[in-house]
Amino acid sequence: MPRWRFNHLLLAPHRLAFFLAALMLATSALWWAALLLARALQWPLSPAVPAPLMHALLMGLGFMPLFFVGFLYTAGPKWLKLPAVSARSVLPALATVMTGWALAWFGLHWQLLMAAAGMGLVALGWTTLSLRFAHMVWCSRVSDKMHTSLASAACLVGAGVMWWVTLALVFDATPLLRTGIQMGIWWFLAPVFVVVSHRMLPFFSASIIESLDAWRPNWVLVVMLATLLLEGLVSVADLWWWPLPPALRWLQAGLETPLALLMLGLALRWGFIQSLKIRLLAMLHGGFVWLGVALALNAVSHGLMAASGDTVSLGLAPLHAMTMGYLGCTMFAMVTRISTGHGGRKESADNLVWSLYWVLQAAVVLRVSAAMLEVLSQTLTLAAVAAWCVVMLGWALRYGGWFGTPRPDGRNG
């Protein structure tokens, strides 16, 4: 068996970025599991930043952007018809991001200014990567740059969000930190996923299932992005002006209901049912279904809030359906596909990955249920984080091993 070497990570951008992302993901999962266990055992904890906010920050802005780098700097040059990007050229920026997160992690526990300094390094590294990708989009002469331009714009928004979070930590402003986290989810992370879903899901389905075509009108993408803009605005409004008037809550529920039905209808139109016999394709579609479910849960939650004067809701269930369900499952499937296809292996999900995917689905269901069942909340949350750790550790070990070894087909990359 080939030896694992760090130099092999520098053979392609996805190798380096995905490895660092997997390392960040596995570490974050273990950290959060340990923190929840300590809280369940009633151990005294007094971090510099409240644990739920640390969780939201690390799980949101921690590993996901690193996965974006691997995807955008691998697929992006092909979409833009530009020369391939070398992993060595993105190493300094990625090293800055990782150094920043290491410093921020310690600071979030013990010293806010250290956390702010670390977050500043993260923002600097990510801004460098985002501007470079924006320059690639600008220099490209291809006629269709819609998806790459939108993904680039979302990444630049992400850079702004990271600088916002840095300032929030400098001034110890919890409302600003909460606002930055919500903006990061709805206006940075989710738009990148939606843009990629709109481009890749119909394409993957049509290339494998003969009865389907690559139907993806631009108006669908506009509606999807407008939906995320709306949800972000509502989330920020909830932080600053809660409770909102019942009439506004009914309006939210009234808008979210047809949007949820549209997303679930898109899942069917793009071949969700037909994909169930093809594991890797089913994994991608299964992630997209969670987008519709998250919007449906939001509609129900806002309806309950409208009827109860904001005293009854589904809590964090819609948010976890969005983050763990749509973002998490789509990330799992997309990175699996790139790691196999660009790693010289068959583009498929073997028994290990297929099993881990279903454990991931179980983790999402457990966490969403925990938010809605207050009596069982702690038990279900611990079960969800345990399942999440199993999935992410197993997944990170599998592909982390691949990224540090040569391709089995002997080709470069």
> With 80 as the cut, is the pLDDT of residue 412 above it?
no
Convert the pLDDT of each residue in 20-61 to its tens digit: 999 999 999 999 999 999 988 888 888 999 999 999 999 999
Q: Which residue blocks in 44-185 are alpha helix, DSSP H?
A: 51-61, 64-80, 87-110, 112-139, 146-170, 174-184
pLDDT at res. 1: 62
Please give the Cα distance from 348 to 197 (Å, whole number).
18
| Helix (H) / strand (E) containing 316 | none
d(CA 119, CA 100): 6
Q: In Å, how far are 9, 158, 266, 333 from 148, measured between CA atoms?
A: 25, 15, 21, 20
What is the phi-psi region of residue 410: left when phi exceeds 0, alpha when psi lies from -120 to 50, beta otherwise? Answer: left
- Residue spans per domain, the chain: 6-41+48-403
Give the pLDDT confidence score for residue 342 in this predicted structure.
74
- Between CA 321 and CA 336 the distance in angstroms is 21
- Assigned fold of 6-41+48-403: Cytochrome C Oxidase; Chain A (1.20.210)
Give the pLDDT of residue 232.
Answer: 96
Q: Which residues contact 361 (CB under 8 A, 6 or more apart)?
A: 286, 329
pLDDT digits (tens, 9 = 90+) for 358-378: 999 999 999 999 999 988 999
DSSP, res 374: G
Model pLDDT, residue 413:
67
- Output the pTM of the full model: 0.95
What is the tens place of the pLDDT at every residue in 266-312? 999 988 888 888 999 999 999 999 999 999 999 999 999 999 999 99
Task: Please tell me the predicted confidence (pLDDT) of residue 13.
Answer: 94
Mean pLDDT, range 183-212, rounded to an integer? 90
Which amino acid, one-letter code, is at 189? L
Tokens encoding 151: 């993904």
